[in-house]
């Protein structure tokens, strides 16, 4: 079926992952770091259409106290079809099975998509508890 999208629990290849990142305007990290990071994810799914990865999502963290949802991506030409929801449903299924009560589950949302994650129970950090980040080196 031409419009069939298959969700597969697997790690995207480095090439697939970087292609998705570039398509949505996110920067890529070097190949060795990307390969290591993908391999060490706790959970990964790929959304496949006509033998091509058109979306993905991952969970990273320590598997006990902290879980972070990373890289929920759908190629721009496939957005607006509920595909991101399919990826998040799979991620939430993983968390339901693996995250123990009181575990911290975090994510960093792209601009203007907070509403998407609010449907899954996520809230923005309050102004008096701001998050911080640092990109290492260079």
- Establish if 102 belongs to a structural domain: yes
The confidence score (pLDDT) of residue 126 equals 85
Per-10-residue mean pLDDT, the chain, length 138: 85 96 89 95 98 98 97 96 97 97 92 90 87 76
The confidence score (pLDDT) of residue 2 equals 60
How many whole angstroms separate alpha carbon 133 and alpha carbon 70? Answer: 14
State the pairing for strand pair 52-61/43-49: antiparallel
- Establish if 30 belongs to a structural domain: yes
Q: How many domains does the chain have?
A: 1
**Structural domain boundaries, residue 34:** 5-118
The confidence score (pLDDT) of residue 135 equals 77
- Establish if 109 belongs to a structural domain: yes
- Establish if 63 belongs to a structural domain: yes
- Establish if 94 belongs to a structural domain: yes
The confidence score (pLDDT) of residue 134 equals 77
The confidence score (pLDDT) of residue 23 equals 95
The confidence score (pLDDT) of residue 132 equals 80
- Establish if 127 belongs to a structural domain: no
The confidence score (pLDDT) of residue 111 equals 79
5-8: strand order across its sheet: 5-8, 43-49, 52-61, 66-74, 104-107
How many whole angstroms separate alpha carbon 98 and alpha carbon 89? Answer: 14
Domain of residue 59, CATH code: 3.40.630.30
């Amino acid at each position: 079926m031409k419009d069939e999208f298959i969700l597969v629990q697997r790690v995207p290849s480095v090439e697939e992952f970087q292609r998705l990142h570039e398509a949505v305007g996110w920067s890529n990290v070097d190949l060795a770091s990307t390969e290591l990071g993908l391999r060490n994810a706790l959970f990964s799914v790929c959304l496949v259409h006509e033998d091509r990865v058109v979306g993905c999502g991952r969970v990273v963290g320590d598997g006990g106290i902290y879980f972070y949802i990373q890289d929920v991506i759908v190629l721009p030409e496939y957005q607006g079809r509920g595909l991101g929801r399919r990826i998040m449903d799979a991620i939430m299924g993983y968390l339901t099975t693996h995250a123990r009560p009181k575990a911290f589950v975090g994510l960093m949302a792209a601009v203007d998509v907070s509403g998407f994650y609010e449907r899954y129970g996520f809230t923005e950090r309050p102004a008096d508890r701001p998050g911080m980040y640092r990109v290492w080196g260079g």
